[in-house]
Structure 1
């Protein structure tokens, strides 16, 4: 009963504060210029309706209903804040490139990932941190990662797929991408530390989008504790690698090696005055973000590729042929190379079409730093702006027969693809904040699918082929499949 009383008190106080905030904002705004729509009930707004729709895989329909009713620009209230929904290619371009907006993550995300992450930085700080991360993701460094990722994928399939009659795809893909990221980002080898970090990572994710009330029985509390343990591991790794880099400096080599991990790379970066580009806190916070970003998107993408290919024999057969042609020119056990990935054009088109139909990120929020206008409507300072990928991805005027799975949309010579307006395919975002890990995700996906389609056949265990979002898409029961080894050609 004590816990219940505390929760009720917190809800009342929070609700009252947010309601006052909403009323104050509404009075300050010039009502005649605000977009059509309604802020709904205080605090609740339209949040429950959107969350309910997303959990039933109806989020896209919910958004489209609003657009049909109010147009591509409308006001509403989401998660306790007045919000403007922007939809369409022109709105995407405006939002991605305008300097009047910064990103805004829920408080729970900030508490768990840290205050110095790239997700909440803007201006010069964002450019500095993004530039540091891109240093690790330079093309010449990415080429060096292909062989290491190949080794992780081979081990994963041998240990978790080979000899099994059934597997559950999503948790296995998540463990695979976690192992890849642990090795390349943190230099963590297989063992107890990596296994413990994997467990904490799962618990951390469970409460990352929860109500940020730090009480013992809440998901947020468990997530926060797991985040603390994970952070201590990364802090210790950072200290150890800092000592190693100082030894290198003493020997006249202060730069990170070409094959170094992310933390070593970031520690070695210097500005024009020879000072470190990032602090220890910034390195740890952004390593936490990289762990999340590099894990979820790729694992979800590959899971839904497996899901689609189970019922698309023609596309699967074409992919198998593409990968067998690549394998013909390689010796037994020889790792894939950067040049091999360049030949996997069909596989990447299948990946892009999967991202179009089921984008891992449903949408995202920005915050207005000043009063600004779009399409004749006022977006008041401090309001949220919400955009979603599905609006353009499933627009029949942009993508012909959008419900049809058609990888040929992404052929460079295909006229339909070239005619699509810019900022229509936004699975990775766009503008200065476009996902910096696109190429890393591409490597993970292509290497994994190469070995998967050559070694296994599979069929879905569940007749009901559905998925929900919470907030990432998740297929029914994690996508259990029956598997069998594919005979050697």
Structure 2
């Protein structure tokens, strides 16, 4: 009888004990999580669940096409331009508005520094001795010399020729295309040509296949387990490095034998340029830099070009004004005369349109900094090591910065343009994207060849946009093309 009672009661006892243990463990975990966010004068805010924090809400808002909603909801709730949260396991504070942008951008390497997630460090680190942030700081001066305007002028003929070839091969003789996919193909081929002089279609295709895996893994959860996107990205990055090492070694030989030009592309520039200490970059650093530049320019620039197609297709009066400006350039030339560097200066309205696209759909939604020391801002204490996020969307869609922010209005950029620290698609301060001039040149050349060849309309007029993390039309922006008579 005693044994029977024991066996009838024992499973319940075990279950009760397990539930109690689980509840106590979760309570301890929650308390430990929240204790990391306590202290004097910390910003207001919620910190969500352990490890996850508010990551789901942040990502969900972006996937619904309104990344600024996550921020605005909390700014309104806490009546503060600075609030705390927890993202991807990190203690974080959001800095919202122009004053916050100015503070972060002007205190680079003083109070804050750029911060990359562990996934970026694991995919792009060229050694265990340096972080992605340190590698980026070391190479950005070198990249600036290659990407500044007078250097880009040297490569303008290549940019124009590659753009002409892209439209001839992929758009001509087509009645319907997917703008997003073709924009990605175009930006990758152009970057491969300018960075490492790849022109052979088979070589470009070989490089692009693993590259897409790297792109997907960079924005995934950093779980290095076989079969995950992150694990595939690490393997794909290593495959790309092997190919880049071969290209680098061959270029060294070609440069030594006079079979390659010092100004041929970014690779030659990086091999022949030393830093202020007279030190040249290692092959691993060069390979990682080129890989990083391909990733940085691939989704950001292709997203911008895609949304230029989207807005020009939706707004006939904007298209007509751009077309008029571009045809004035065409009509000023002799038959067969190519586009020239000087023509870019005549594309003022076209660039205003492109900037308004960047305002409405910034490819980079924002970015992180890391506090180098404890400091006080707006009366709140920000502890050393906290991650600080600035948002392009928030100021771009603020009525205080841009009246009627939902309205597409290129005239915002006439004259002196927007106030400082309100228009920040390329960031700001010392850490402003070094590829901003490259993006401007490529964008204007793309617009010229696009509108002088076609009109178009969207196949799905109400196609939605998600942000994950780049703005993306849900269906890839299919459009019907109407060729201009020649």
Question: TM-score, normalised on structure 2?
Answer: 0.89
Q: Secondary structure, in 3 states, of the residue corresponding to 2:40?
A: helix
Choose the corresponding residue for 1:237, options 244, 247, 260.
Answer: 247
Matched with 1:263 is 267
Matched with 2:284 is 281
Q: Secondary structure, in 3 states, of the residue corresponding to 2:485?
A: coil
Q: Secondary structure, in 3 states, of the residue corresponding to 1:121?
A: helix
Matched with 1:105 is 116
Choose the corresponding residue for 1:63, options 53, 71, 76.
Answer: 71
Q: Is the 1:371–1:378 contact (alpha carbons within 8 Å) kept by the matching residues of 2?
A: yes
Q: Is the 1:256–1:268 contact (alpha carbons within 8 Å) kept by the matching residues of 2?
A: no
Q: Would you say 1:335 and 2:338 are equivalent positions?
A: yes
Q: Is the 1:349–1:408 contact (alpha carbons within 8 Å) kept by the matching residues of 2?
A: yes
Choose the corresponding residue for 1:89, options 88, 94, 98.
Answer: 98
Q: What CA distance in whole angstroms lies between the structure 2 residues aligned with 1:106 and 1:272?
A: 29
| Residue 58 of structure 1, CA deviation | 2.4
Q: Secondary structure, in 3 states, of the residue corresponding to 2:86?
A: strand
Q: Is the 1:322–1:344 contact (alpha carbons within 8 Å) kept by the matching residues of 2?
A: yes
Q: Would you say 1:228 and 2:228 are equivalent positions?
A: no
Choose the corresponding residue for 1:469, options 443, 454, 467.
Answer: 467
C-alpha distance after superposition, 1:260-287 (max 9, x if no partner): 21011011013466x4432222211111
Q: Is the 1:82–1:383 contact (alpha carbons within 8 Å) kept by the matching residues of 2?
A: yes
| Residue 334 of structure 1, CA deviation | 3.1
Matched with 1:174 is 184
| Residue 132 of structure 1, CA deviation | 0.6
Choose the corresponding residue for 1:192, options 193, 202, 222.
Answer: 202
Q: What CA distance in whole angstroms lies between the structure 2 residues aligned with 1:109 and 1:121?
A: 10
Matched with 1:7 is none
| Residue 482 of structure 1, CA deviation | 0.7
Choose the corresponding residue for 1:49, options 57, 75, 83.
Answer: 57
Q: Is the 1:143–1:337 contact (alpha carbons within 8 Å) kept by the matching residues of 2?
A: no
Point out where structure 2 has 5 or more consecutive residues left out of the alignment: 1-24
Matched with 1:481 is 479
Q: Secondary structure, in 3 states, of the residue corresponding to 1:318?
A: helix
Matched with 1:435 is 433
Q: Secondary structure, in 3 states, of the residue corresponding to 1:335?
A: coil
CA shift in 2, pair 1:328/1:120, >3 Å: same
CA shift in 2, pair 1:179/1:333, >3 Å: farther
Matched with 2:354 is 351
Q: Would you say 1:211 and 2:221 are equivalent positions?
A: yes
RMSD: 2.4
Q: What CA distance in whole angstroms lies between the structure 2 residues aligned with 1:240 and 1:26?
A: 55
Matched with 2:4 is none
Matched with 2:43 is 35
Q: Secondary structure, in 3 states, of the residue corresponding to 1:221?
A: helix
Matched with 2:12 is none
Q: Is the 1:104–1:119 contact (alpha carbons within 8 Å) kept by the matching residues of 2?
A: no
Q: Secondary structure, in 3 states, of the residue corresponding to 2:155?
A: helix
| Residue 373 of structure 1, CA deviation | 1.5
C-alpha distance after superposition, 1:433-466 (max 9, x if no partner): 0000111111111111101101011100113232
Q: What CA distance in whole angstroms lies between the structure 2 residues aligned with 1:138 and 1:75?
A: 37
Q: Is the 1:102–1:120 contact (alpha carbons within 8 Å) kept by the matching residues of 2?
A: no
CA shift in 2, pair 1:272/1:357, >3 Å: closer
Q: Is the 2:255–2:262 contact (alpha carbons within 8 Å) kept by the matching residues of 1?
A: no
Q: Would you say 1:120 and 2:132 are equivalent positions?
A: yes
Q: What CA distance in whole angstroms lies between the structure 2 residues aligned with 1:392 and 1:224?
A: 35
Q: Would you say 1:421 and 2:425 are equivalent positions?
A: no
Structure 1 or 2, whichever has the larger Rg, is 2
Aligned residue pairs total 457
CA shift in 2, pair 1:434/1:82, >3 Å: same
Q: Would you say 1:320 and 2:330 are equivalent positions?
A: no
Question: TM-score, normalised on structure 1?
Answer: 0.88
